[in-house]
Amino acid sequence: MIQVENKGVLGSVSLDDIKALETEGKISLAKLTDGTGAGNDFLGWVKLPQDTPEALLDDIDATAARLRQLCDVVVAIGIGGSYLGAKAVIEALSDSFAAYKNTGTKVLFAGQNIGEDYLAELKDYLADKKFGIIVISKSGTTTEPAIAFRILKEQLEAQLGREEANKRIVAVTDAKRGALRTLADTEGYKTYVIEDNVGGRFSVLTPVGLLPIAVAGFDIKALVKGAADIATATLDGKCNAAMTYAMTRNALYRSGKKIEILVNYSPKLHFFGEWWKQLYGESEGKDHKGIFPAAVDNTTDLHSMGQWIQEGERSIFETVISVAKPERELRIPSDDANLDGLNYIAGKRVDEVNKMAELGTRIAHIDGGVPNIHVTIPELSAYSLGQLIYFFEAACGISGYLLGVNPFNQPGVEAYKRNMFALLEKPGYEKETEAIRAKL
């Protein structure tokens, strides 16, 4: 199981400060298990891993195998939680240089931005490729993915004809309503359902994340099993990792630490940090409250952000993800000239040097007034990532309730959309258009 160790925070808060939140923490966990807290209509993720039917996983694997057979490239179209979870898992499990190797079906992403150059370059790349599309949207009208889907659907139909194109399009959408559901039913796309009680940022363990991950060739059953095992232990009270993390970060927040930096020492976890930022930022940043989530990739960012973290404003704390065992083994060779002075570590594994860099940095940052929470996973496997995903999801729910907010809504996300629609003169936004023009 995941291990959480918090003695690195004791210079900023005491064990008594953390323990003082235990009653609140247990009440917060009960709100998740009993469905009695704010946002309880979005708690479908809580028991999702244990309740996922084997038949659904088999069906997703079969669809993924069919897409791999038909396509050299599959473009997953989605934004926010409809993109970040799949991207995080695929990047964590992939060969770092898979993009440069002509093996297997590649999974690319679109609809996560409105970059004209990005979409034009993607169209150029796909021009001579056999490609398919996974379009992920509950409504089918979210601007960014809707634009990407319209463009790529047109290209796919032009290349293959409408009937053949439809065989290479899979829609993950609402069960009964919405523009994408209507289109999918009309065109006969293969579909999967986004349940109403699972919000986007908690959807990686649904077909939203599982289908792209399966297309990339990874074991979704192991991913779900890892999540199910820690979910059962967390909800039964046998594993207190999520509770410990939630209470510790809230004790730090109440002591004045307003920024949390998620730190990894494995470059494959970069997009996991991006997924985590959305999970916590969108869940906690409301009512003028919330820990600001940031992320760094070490040791790379020790040569950029390291100075600020070591000696900048003391409003931060770090949560460090450590991978106990890398998949590969590589030792540092000896060199007769020793001009670089590295012979003192000749024969050591690269990971041993990395682990000492991690430990040395944690000690330095703690000494410099930056509290550290240490999270250890056994390895970068589908099973361990499933655990890590559910651990952070459960801790997020507990932490949000400790903070006193609804962790499962995102009212602030709509503000930019109203302005954008008004500026684009979308029908129905005439009053907003007039109002915003008056401000310019």
Segment 105-134, tens digit of pLDDT? 999 999 999 999 999 999 999 999 999 999
Name the pLDDT band for 103 (thresholds 50, 70, 90): confident
Residue 102 has pLDDT above 80, yes or no: no
Catalytic-role residue among 91, 144, 274, 282: 282
Catalytic-role residue among 7, 176, 325, 417: 417
* Cα three-residue angle 380-251-323, rounded to 5 degrees: 10
Residue 256 has pLDDT above 90, yes or no: yes
pLDDT at 417: 83
pLDDT at 155: 98
Name the pLDDT band for 104 (thresholds 50, 70, 90): confident
Active site residue 303: yes
Say if CB 315 and CB 294 are below 8 A apart.
no
What is the model's pTM? 0.95
Name the pLDDT band for 210 (thresholds 50, 70, 90): very high
pLDDT at 328: 96
Say if CB 309 and CB 259 are below 8 A apart.
no
Tokens of 61: 């694997």
Residue 414 has pLDDT above 90, yes or no: no
Classify strands 3-5 and 372-379 as parallel, antiparallel or unpaired.
antiparallel
Residue 411 has pLDDT above 90, yes or no: no
pLDDT at 413: 78
Catalytic-role residue among 101, 288, 303, 439: 303
pLDDT at 296: 98
Average pLDDT, the chain: 96
pLDDT at 416: 84
Amino acid occupying residue 139: S
Active site residue 417: yes
Active site residue 365: no
Name the pLDDT band for 436 (thresholds 50, 70, 90): confident
Name the pLDDT band for 218 (thresholds 50, 70, 90): very high
CA neighbor of 382 nearest in space, from 239, 134, 208, 205? 205
Residue 407: how many other CB atoms lie within 10 Å: 30
Name the pLDDT band for 430 (thresholds 50, 70, 90): confident
